[in-house]
């Protein structure tokens, strides 16, 4: 069945080791062509039904790709333009070795049967296997392997035509000599039918040919020198972090220095892009500088270099030696971390094919791209990939990948938010959907037998209005001897999502449902999230129940966990539930149980606060949308009812009970949530602010912090306490998921809630962590069986990493979405709003506007103007005449939106009250508001006309 | 820890080009030495092992160890200094080799009819010339051949084989060194393949209970495959030896 041949390989790991590996040559590898008579056709996606049409080769042909094509032009390959592609195993291995992301993308193309890609294992085939010759470079060897496979195919199937696409000129010439049909990808794509839009997407690697321009950047060191330099300590390596405010400055975090190393200027940055792993040379100590405090923006619209040189001079002038930090310059790139970037085309009058692309992320330089559809793209948000950054070019060159939609459109901006925060948001694949239960879904006999039947209980759910993914429901009833039975019923998502299938893998990758202002990116398909798992009123649903027996003082006497079937009597909103509780005339069972729950929750909450749980605040807002136009019609702070807190208390209690149970059962691999105690210096701003106001904020323990926050109340400024709590929130660390086997017991502590153990159990529809916790708990009570990955603490640590990352990103994405919609709401509006001073800074006041949850900067000294204010650093005040502004003082400010920079809109504030002569402006009157509005709008129109 | 290297590719081939259920190439030879009573050499892929059997003979050394109802089986495992990619002195009595010796003895004891030789001793020496994964199975197989060569009565062949799990899903047989390093836990079993009795089982790490049956089935299948190969080798060896002494009727062979 197979013949064998061993070959010898020398491997270098510190010292010379001789590694010998076997390499089996087989005779059961098939060509994969449908029309082939001699080969057994197993499953192949190459087909005679698909024809490649190209003007260069006017016959149907199969395509064989070289490695460089796949690595550089994966964007083109992802376009559905050519099929019947044979991927050689040699090529696949090299792609995997060189770039894992590209490999993954390639694999997903290969797995798609409509693309007709086939892997041919040429290196194990008896006729295409060749030995590497002595002294032959690996690249040449691989090229020879590819050509060998091509000639074999040609001999094997004389009636079919094969075309080798490669950008390697040497390979092409040799191939021609061997009578293989070959061309470059550029030629191939140009001669494709309907290729116009594709040419833009070609990566430009062949751009090195311009000779007449001078080199603009110093050369990078060759890899050998970099490795040598790092070894002997003359060079250092670290991650390159571009500055957000100064495009000519960046820092590199290097292990050898405590402070980040500063790199400055064109030569210093030397073509590194944010995120790259670079090698740097440290300058001599007398050349060290401190980080610049000026803001420099790349304002040039052409590729001219004069402007950079000008700005470099400006930067040189402001260099300071005081507080100098280690300074260095980039001498080489160890690894590029280029990804695809969102942004817009630079509005300019540049004609021709080349245009500049401005990324939304300020840390990324502009990119030079070639496009034939600039007129159209100017109105669009687009995605661009960087290909290369030659020495003579001011900007990196890249290629257009795709357009997202019109600039300023909500759909487009949502897409940008999702992409920039790496939120997986594509549609669920067919494979994923195939694991959904088939409709109509019915409850089977076996399910009833395995579960506790709670359909007779008066269970109800309380959620925000419009909520369709209801994952929790509650009940409470009196049983004998003044005891209460309280139950929390959580949607049994783990019943539907079985470990290891495509649905599970997709959900674990998404990790969380992402809520944007007018959009929800589900973690699980909508059939589950809004129907089968959602505990809707009046429908029979599977639940995972946590039931306590409590006395009237909310002491837990007994805890039970079991899977159950429930029938929620009613799905209520917080407001409805509140009304039921408050309405003394309603005495039906649900009202009774709600009242009981409410009073228990109050006791629980008091107990929790007494133990030192923190009540924190963050300005949360809700944006009301016009149901038809989907434009925001108003922005308001979220309203809270007593019932919010009621539901929250029981969810906390359930989470804590479950955490105890799973940790007891799985001491090594329970998925818990910890909230680390913040280091004391995190609290500095809070303590300082407290001191200025005359409150002593104690930070030695959570309990003392909570107590001192409670005491910080001032009659004349009721919002002050909230402000302090907002500040306190910012001092906190992020709470994270972890696997219990990886930490010491005392590190499990949840600081914010002041409980020793905590986990997430109550929202499995929108959080993947909860699904895992459900599975653990199900195993613990014997309701389900375990599987290997669940019990592997390293695997679950990897999972936690992803969960934490996705959660953070989801949070940022949510905030970005709120920010965008707030901007949208304020477009063309002019408003006076109440706000509070959050921080007092040297040249500005940080103002919080609670009504919109906005935090903006009010500049009080402009460049070139004398400010009426004097700054007192010790007391953190700004004084103008007899008016003193402290932190937390109420003010009235006027809000306008500055849309000059279309990608980065920002608010401009002007002080209205207190009135300071020569600085403040008069309050708006009704009339004026309207007047100004029209003025702005007409102004906008004028601008537009000018542009066109 | 995220060593998630694919040990079986999408096309179903392992790193060295085998399929999941294929053994490495096995080549073996019996009667390689004249001094011992029985000897054998086996190659499983690149793993190469020599085995020699002395006995049954009178108990040497401490006579009091001799047993009235069975023979003592004495196993000695050792590795050549040049057997791995790093040259390393391997003293005879170190922990690893004495453990291996004990394991070998346990597997072989299950097959040797020791009750036929009271007051006597059988010595089995195994030397690894090259280690490339699956050292223990190769040793067991070599020792079996050597025992047969020595003419010691066995209940049946003892064969050993390793198996592991690729991509956390696909069981694969006969694990090479490269796969041992990249993959997860390895299961090694020694079995009497005809009666399907497992005489020794060892795991390098813990297996999840869900995976264990299929990996075990795979390893047992491997043992049976090896038995077929060994059996063929023994038969052809006996034929060869028979031809040269003239009691075989393989006249065709003599012509060749």
Interface contact A788-B211, CB threshold 8 A: yes
Nearest-neighbour CA in chain B from A739: distance (Å): 14
Q: Distance (Å, rounded) from C-alpha B209 to C-alpha A668? A: 18
Nearest-neighbour CA in chain B from A592: distance (Å): 48
Could you tell me if A354 and A321 lie in one domain?
Answer: no
Q: Which residue of A has its CA nearest to B25?
A: A4
Q: Minimal CA–CA distance to A327: which of A284, A270, A269?
A: A284
CATH code (residue A291) = 2.40.50.690
Interface contact B176-A787, CB threshold 8 A: no
Nearest-neighbour CA in chain B from A389: distance (Å): 32
Nearest-neighbour CA in chain A from B233: distance (Å): 18
Burial (Cβ within 10 Å: 0-12, 13-18, ≥19) of residue A296: middle
User: For residues A397 and A367, is the Cβ–Cβ distance under 8 A?
Assistant: yes
In this structure, is residue A608 part of a structural domain?
no
Measured torsion, CA atoms of residues B186, B192, B198, B202, in degrees rounded to the nearest 10? -30
Could you tell me if A730 and A700 lie in one domain?
Answer: yes
Could you tell me if A873 and A781 lie in one domain?
Answer: no
A388, β-bridge pairs: A397
Q: Minimal CA–CA distance to A685: which of A727, A725, A729, A734?
A: A727
Contacts of B45 in chain A (CB under 8 A): 22
Contacts of A797 in chain B (CB under 8 A): 1
Could you tell me if A739 and A775 lie in one domain?
Answer: yes
Tokens of A196: 């116009």
Could you tell me if A164 and A269 lie in one domain?
Answer: no
Could you tell me if A99 and A186 lie in one domain?
Answer: yes
> Measured between CB atoms, does A4 come within 8 Å of chain B?
yes
> Measured between CB atoms, does A19 come within 8 Å of chain B?
yes
Q: What is the pLDDT of residues A276-290, one digit of tens each?
A: 888 988 888 888 887
pLDDT of residue A946: 37
Give the CATH architecture of domain B26-255.
2-Layer Sandwich (3.30)
Interface contact A107-B10, CB threshold 8 A: yes
Count H helices and E strands in chain A, helices first: 27, 36
Q: Distance (Å, rounded) from C-alpha A138 to C-alpha A93? A: 13
Domain extent, residue A389, equals: 340-410
* Confidence bin at B29 (pLDDT 50/70/90): very high
- Blockwise average pLDDT, block size 10, chain A, 948 residues: 56 66 83 77 71 79 88 82 86 87 86 85 86 82 90 87 88 88 85 73 59 70 86 87 82 83 85 88 84 70 69 73 81 86 78 80 85 82 86 84 83 85 85 85 84 89 86 88 89 90 90 87 88 88 92 89 91 89 85 90 90 75 67 70 88 93 90 89 82 80 83 77 82 89 88 90 92 92 84 88 92 87 80 81 78 78 67 76 79 81 76 76 61 45 38
Interface contact A798-B11, CB threshold 8 A: no
Q: What is the pLDDT of residues B191-216, one digit of tens each?
A: 999 999 999 999 988 888 888 999 99
Q: Distance (Å, rounded) from C-alpha A58 to C-alpha A52? A: 9
From A305, A335, A365, give the residue that closes a domain.
A335
SS (H, E, C) A83-135: CCEEEEHHHHHHHHHHCHHHHHHHHHHHHCHHHCEEEECHHHECCCCCCCCCC
End-to-end CA distance of chain B: 58
In this structure, is residue A626 part of a structural domain?
no
Could you tell me if A289 and A396 lie in one domain?
Answer: no
User: For residues A397 and A204, is the Cβ–Cβ distance under 8 A?
Assistant: yes
Q: Minimal CA–CA distance to A546: which of A761, A803, A376?
A: A761
Could you tell me if A321 and A348 lie in one domain?
Answer: no
Residues 6+ apart with CB under 8 A from A884: A877, A878
Could you tell me if A793 and A933 lie in one domain?
Answer: no
> Measured between CB atoms, does A107 come within 8 Å of chain B?
yes
> Measured between CB atoms, does A23 come within 8 Å of chain B?
yes
Nearest-neighbour CA in chain B from A17: distance (Å): 6
In this structure, is residue A901 part of a structural domain?
yes
Interface contact B17-A124, CB threshold 8 A: yes
pLDDT of residue A250: 87
- Total domains in chain A come to 6
Domain boundary assignment for chain B:
26-255
Contacts of A786 in chain B (CB under 8 A): 208
pLDDT of residue A926: 55
pLDDT of residue B56: 92
Interface contact B210-A107, CB threshold 8 A: no
Could you tell me if A681 and A637 lie in one domain?
Answer: no
Interface contact A797-B168, CB threshold 8 A: no
**Among partner residues A11, A22, A795, which is closest to B46 by beta-carbon distance?**
A22
Range 122-181 of A in CB contact (< 8 A) with B = 123-124
Q: Which residue of A has its CA nearest to B18?
A: A24
In this structure, is residue A627 part of a structural domain?
no
**Among partner residues A2, A22, A25, which is closest to B45 by beta-carbon distance?**
A22
Residues 6+ apart with CB under 8 A from A12: none
Contacts of B17 in chain A (CB under 8 A): 2, 22-26, 121, 123-124
CB pairs under 8 A between A and B: 61
CATH code (residue A912) = 2.40.50.140
In this structure, is residue A194 part of a structural domain?
yes
From A754, A782, A811, give the residue that closes a domain.
A811
Interface contact B11-A794, CB threshold 8 A: no
Interface contact B1-A22, CB threshold 8 A: no
From A782, A811, A840, give the residue that closes a domain.
A811
CA angle A843, A846, A847 (to 5 degrees): 135
Q: In whole angstroms, how far apart are CA A767 and each of A94, A469, A521, A795? A: 37, 12, 12, 18
> Measured between CB atoms, does A505 come within 8 Å of chain B?
no
> Measured between CB atoms, does A10 come within 8 Å of chain B?
no
Interface contact B46-A4, CB threshold 8 A: no
Nearest-neighbour CA in chain A from B86: distance (Å): 6
Q: Minimal CA–CA distance to A128: which of A148, A108, A111, A113?
A: A148
In this structure, is residue A212 part of a structural domain?
no
pLDDT of residue A619: 65
Instruction: Tell how far CA A324 is from the center of its chain.
Output: 35
Q: Which of B7, B11, B17 has the most A C-beta neighbours within 10 Å, making it the best mutation to test the interface with A?
A: B17
User: For residues A360 and A342, is the Cβ–Cβ distance under 8 A?
Assistant: yes
Interface contact A24-B17, CB threshold 8 A: yes
What are B's interface residues with A at a Cβ cutoff of 8 A? 1-2, 10-11, 13, 15-18, 22, 24-25, 45-46, 85-86, 132, 168, 176, 178, 208, 210-211
Q: How big, in percent rounded to 5, are the helix, strand and coil portions of chain B?
A: 30, 30, 40
Contacts of B178 in chain A (CB under 8 A): 21
Kind and range of the H or E run holding A51: none
In this structure, is residue A671 part of a structural domain?
yes
Q: Which residue of B has its CA nearest to A126?
A: B17
Could you tell me if A173 and A106 lie in one domain?
Answer: yes
Q: Minimal CA–CA distance to A144: which of A83, A79, A88?
A: A88
> Measured between CB atoms, does A210 come within 8 Å of chain B?
no
In this structure, is residue A417 part of a structural domain?
no
Could you tell me if A83 and A227 lie in one domain?
Answer: no
Q: Distance (Å, rounded) from C-alpha A514 to C-alpha A817? A: 11
> Would you tell me how many other CB atoms lie within 10 Å of the CB of residue A251?
22
Q: Minimal CA–CA distance to A822: which of A856, A859, A860?
A: A856
């Amino acid at each position: 069945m197979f013949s064998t041949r061993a070959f010898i390989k020398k491997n270098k790991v510190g010292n010379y080791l001789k590694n010998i590996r076997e390499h089996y040559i087989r005779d059961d590898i098939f060509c994969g062509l449908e029309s082939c008579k001699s080969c057994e056709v197993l499953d192949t996606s190459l087909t005679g039904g698909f024809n490649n049409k190209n003007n260069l080769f006017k016959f149907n042909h199969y395509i064989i790709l070289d490695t460089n094509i796949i690595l550089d032009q994966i964007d083109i390959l992802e376009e559905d333009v050519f099929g019947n592609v044979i991927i050689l195993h040699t090529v696949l291995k090299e792609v995997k070795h060189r770039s894992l992301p590209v490999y993954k993308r390639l694999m997903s193309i290969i797995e798609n049967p409509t693309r007709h890609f086939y892997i041919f294992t040429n290196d194990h085939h008896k006729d295409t296997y060749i030995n590497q010759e002595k002294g032959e470079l690996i690249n040449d060897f691989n090229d020879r392997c590819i050509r060998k496979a091509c000639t074999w195919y040609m001999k094997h199937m004389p009636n079919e035509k094969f075309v080798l696409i490669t950008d390697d000129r040497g390979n092409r010439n040799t191939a021609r000599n061997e009578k293989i049909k070959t061309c470059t990808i550029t030629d191939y794509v140009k001669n494709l039918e309907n290729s116009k839009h594709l040419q833009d997407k070609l990566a430009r690697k062949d751009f090195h040919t311009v000779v007449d321009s001078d080199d603009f950047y110093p050369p990078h060191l060759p890899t050998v020198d970099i490795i040598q330099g790092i070894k002997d300590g003359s060079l250092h390596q670290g991650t390159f972090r571009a500055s957000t405010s100064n495009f000519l400055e960046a820092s590199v975090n290097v292990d050898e220095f405590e402070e980040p190393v500063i790199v400055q200027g064109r030569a210093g940055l030397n073509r590194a892009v944010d995120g790259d792993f670079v090698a740097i040379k440290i300058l001599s100590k007398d050349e060290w500088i401190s980080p610049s405090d000026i803001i420099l923006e790349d304002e040039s619209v052409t590729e001219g270099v004069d402007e950079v040189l000008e700005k470099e001079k400006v930067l040189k002038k402001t260099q300071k030696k005081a507080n100098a930090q280690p300074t260095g310059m980039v001498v080489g790139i160890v690894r590029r971390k280029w990804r695809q970037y969102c942004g817009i085309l630079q509005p300019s009058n540049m004609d021709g094919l080349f245009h500049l692309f401005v990324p939304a992320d300020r840390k990324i330089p502009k990119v030079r791209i070639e496009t034939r559809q600039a007129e159209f793209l100017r109105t669009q948000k687009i995605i661009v990939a960087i290909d290369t950054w030659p020495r003579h070019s001011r900007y990196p060159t890249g290629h257009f990948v795709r357009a997202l939609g019109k600039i300023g459109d909500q759909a487009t901006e949502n897409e940008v938010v999702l992409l920039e925060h790496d939120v997986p948001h594509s549609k669920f694949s067919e494979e994923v959907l195939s694991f959904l239960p088939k409709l109509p879904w019915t409850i089977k006999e076996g399910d009833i037998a395995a579960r506790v039947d709670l359909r007779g209980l008066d269970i109800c759910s309380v959620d925000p209005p419009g909520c369709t993914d209801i994952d929790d429901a509650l009940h409470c009833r009196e049983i004998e001897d003044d005891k209460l039975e309280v139950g929390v019923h959580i949607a049994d998502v783990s019943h539907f999502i079985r470990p290891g299938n495509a649905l599970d893998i997709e959900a674990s990758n998404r990790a969380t449902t992402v809520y944007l202002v007018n959009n929800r990116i589900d973690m699980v398909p909508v059939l589950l999230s809004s129907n089968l798992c959602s505990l809707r009123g009046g429908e029979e649903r599977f639940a995972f129940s946590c039931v306590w027996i409590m006395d009237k003082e909310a002491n837990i006497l007994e805890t039970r966990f079991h899977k159950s079937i429930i029938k929620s009597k009613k799905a209520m909103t917080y407001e409805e539930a509140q009304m039921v509780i408050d309405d003394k005339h309603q005495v039906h069972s649900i009202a009774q149980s709600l009242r009981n729950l409410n009073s228990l929750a109050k006791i629980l909450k008091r107990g929790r606060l007494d133990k030192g749980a923190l009540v924190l605040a963050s300005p949360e807002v809700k944006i009301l949308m016009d149901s038809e136009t989907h434009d925001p019609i108003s922005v308001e702070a979220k309203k809270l009812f007593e019932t919010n807190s009621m539901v929250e208390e029981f969810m906390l209690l359930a989470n804590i009970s479950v955490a105890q149970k799973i940790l007891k059962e799985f001491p090594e691999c329970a998925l818990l949530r910890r909230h680390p105690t913040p280091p004391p210096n995190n609290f500095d701003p809070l303590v300082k602010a407290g001191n200025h106001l005359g409150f002593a904020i104690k930070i030695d323990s959570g309990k003392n912090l909570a107590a001192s926050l409670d005491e910080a109340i001032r009659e004349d400024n009721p919002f002050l306490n909230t402000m302090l709590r907002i500040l306190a929130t910012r001092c906190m660390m992020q709470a994270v998921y972890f696997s219990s086997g990886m930490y010491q017991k005392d590190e499990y502590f949840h600081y914010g809630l002041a409980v020793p153990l905590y986990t997430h159990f109550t929202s499995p529809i929108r959080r993947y962590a909860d699904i895992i916790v459900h599975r653990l708990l199900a195993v613990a009570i014997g309701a389900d069986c375990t599987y290997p990955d669940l019990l592997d603490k390293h695997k679950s640590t990897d999972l936690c990493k992803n969960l934490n990352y996705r959660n953070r990103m989801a949070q940022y994405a949510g905030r970005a979405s709120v920010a965008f919609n707030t901007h949208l709401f304020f477009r063309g509006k002019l408003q006076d709003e109440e706000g509070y001073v959050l921080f007092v800074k040297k040249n500005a006041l940080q103002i919080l506007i609670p009504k919109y949850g906005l935090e903006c900067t009010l500049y009080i000294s402009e460049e070139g103007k004398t400010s009426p204010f004097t700054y007192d650093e010790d007391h953190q005040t700004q004084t103008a005449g007899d008016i003193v502004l402290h932190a937390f003082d109420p003010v009235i400010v006027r809000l306008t939106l500055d849309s000059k920079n279309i990608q980065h809109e920002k608010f401009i504030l002007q002080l209205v009250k207190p009135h300071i002569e020569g600085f403040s402006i008069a309050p708006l009157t009704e009339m004026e508001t309207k007047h100004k509005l029209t003025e702005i709008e007409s102004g906008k129109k004028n601008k537009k006309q000018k542009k066109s | 820890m995220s060593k998630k290297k694919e040990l079986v590719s999408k096309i179903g081939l392992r790193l060295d080009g085998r399929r999941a259920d294929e053994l490495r190439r096995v080549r073996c030879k019996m009667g390689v030495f004249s001094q011992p009573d029985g000897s054998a050499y086996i190659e499983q892929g690149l793993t190469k092992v020599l085995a020699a059997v002395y006995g049954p003979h009178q108990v040497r050394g401490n006579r009091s160890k001799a047993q009235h109802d069975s023979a003592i089986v004495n196993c000695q495992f050792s590795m050549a200094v040049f057997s791995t990619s790093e040259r390393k002195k391997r003293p005879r009595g170190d922990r690893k080799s004495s453990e291996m010796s004990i394991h070998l003895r346990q597997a072989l004891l299950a097959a040797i009819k020791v009750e036929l030789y009271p007051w006597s001793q059988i010595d089995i020496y195994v030397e690894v010339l090259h280690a490339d994964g699956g050292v223990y199975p190769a040793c067991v197989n070599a020792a079996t051949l050597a025992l047969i060569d020595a003419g010691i009565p066995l209940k049946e062949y003892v064969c050993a084989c390793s198996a592991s799990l690729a991509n956390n899903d696909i069981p694969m047989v006969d694990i090479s060194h490269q796969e041992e390093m990249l993959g997860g836990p390895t299961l090694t079993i020694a079995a009497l393949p005809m009666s399907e009795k497992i005489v020794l089982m060892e795991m390098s790490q813990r297996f999840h209970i869900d995976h264990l049956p299929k990996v075990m089935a795979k390893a047992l299948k491997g043992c049976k495959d090896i038995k077929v190969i060994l059996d063929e080798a023994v038969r052809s060896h006996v034929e060869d030896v028979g031809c040269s002494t003239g009691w075989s009727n393989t006249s065709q062979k003599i012509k060749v």
